Amino acid sequence: MNHSPAAAAVLTQVRGQVGTLTLNRPRALNALTHAMVRDLTDALTAWEQDDTVRAVLLTGAGERGLCAGGDIRAIYEDARVGGTASRAFWRTEYLLNAQIARYPKPYVALMDGIVMGGGVGVSAHGSVRIVTERSTLAMPEVGIGFVPDVGGTHLLAAAPGELGTHLALTTDRMGPGAAIAGGFADHFLPSAELPAFAEALATGDVADVVAGFARPAPADEWEQHRPWIDACYAADSVEEIVTRLEECGVPAAKEAAERIMTKSPTALKVTLSALRRARRLGALEPVLDQEYRVSCAALSLPDLVEGVRAQVVDKDRRPRWNPARLADVSPADVAGFFADLGPEELGLAARP
């Protein structure tokens, strides 16, 4: 496979035995478009059948990060007019997430810099996940009236204790140490060594190269908070979680409660339910099926458009959620997000 044109949003190149995928929208922090997801899918499919390609390397152009997520403005414009483009994008994206998770060759993701939302989806399901001292990971969806997707609820639900619940409801970030401890990454490398690491992969055995470059991981910045996180977020409702956080006597917990209460009440309740359901589902494929139902439901309700408006478009940081109170989001409202889509189901769990 030849190197893509410089203007392409995904650059593909085979160097030695490694097929390299470079997300190439640095001015947009490599945010994913539908065309980019299709390009990634096509390249992975081709390289799976190419015996000369023994591993895949994912990286991002620019100095700011691997990928900040999906193209939120495009989703916003689609939701405003009641379009179907976002459904089509998510279908292709979630299928890609599953393809990465079951890829038969080593899939090495360089999670340098900012890695959020869809950026987590194209990296954290890989078999070799590298973070650096510059890595910042997050699933910030509830802040825009959405729910963690791209397999994010699978990863968050599998994190130790209730850490994933905390990260989902607050949208708090992980540094490299927390990303490894939380199951989102595997190895730590200094960012200055990434070029030499990529060069070594071209001719070396992946496991040997990783072992030669990996360094001890930094401390997990969330470890000291785990006692109150596990105690407070084990509650069965968002209301009870907030009450426990406010009353446990730990300043950091009270601050977490304050952050939660700025998020979409609907997104918070649906996210908590999605995480609990994801734990029971276990495998990634049925969780992605569930996330597709939830994402499609969110597209038709006002909070996603309002959240993107407040955070990305107008940037007034003052979303007007509807409904505005947790008490006004009923169990029936939440259950509606998980309704079967019939012939529109993603259907990953049913595939062989």
Rounded Cα distance between 139 and 149, Å, is 8
Length of the chain: 352
User: 119 catalytic, yes or no?
Assistant: no
At 76 the three-state DSSP class reads helix
Cβ atoms of 43 and 10 closer than 8 Å: yes
User: 204 catalytic, yes or no?
Assistant: no
Catalytic residue among 118, 143, 175, 307: 118
User: 62 catalytic, yes or no?
Assistant: no
Cβ atoms of 60 and 113 closer than 8 Å: yes
Catalytic residue among 112, 141, 162, 220: 141
Calculate the alpha carbon distances from 112 to 65, 103, 195, 223 in Å: 6, 21, 12, 22
Beta-sheet strand order (sheet of 107-111): 10-15, 18-23, 55-60, 107-111, 128-131, 187-188
Catalytic residue among 78, 112, 149, 289: 149
Q: What is the DSSP string of 256-309?
A: HHHHHTTS-HHHHHHHHHHHHHHHHH-SHHHHHHHHHHHHHHHHTSHHHHHHHI
Q: State the DSSP H helix or E strand holding residue 56, giving kind and residue range, or none if neither.
A: strand 55-60
Cβ atoms of 77 and 89 closer than 8 Å: no
At 152 the three-state DSSP class reads helix
Rounded Cα distance between 19 and 349, Å, is 28
Catalytic residue among 19, 60, 69, 70: 70
Residue type (1 letter), 241: I
User: 141 catalytic, yes or no?
Assistant: yes
Q: Smallest Cα–Cα separation from 129: which of 183, 167, 64?
A: 183
User: CA 106 from chain center: how many Å?
Assistant: 20
Known catalytic residues are 70, 118, 141, 149
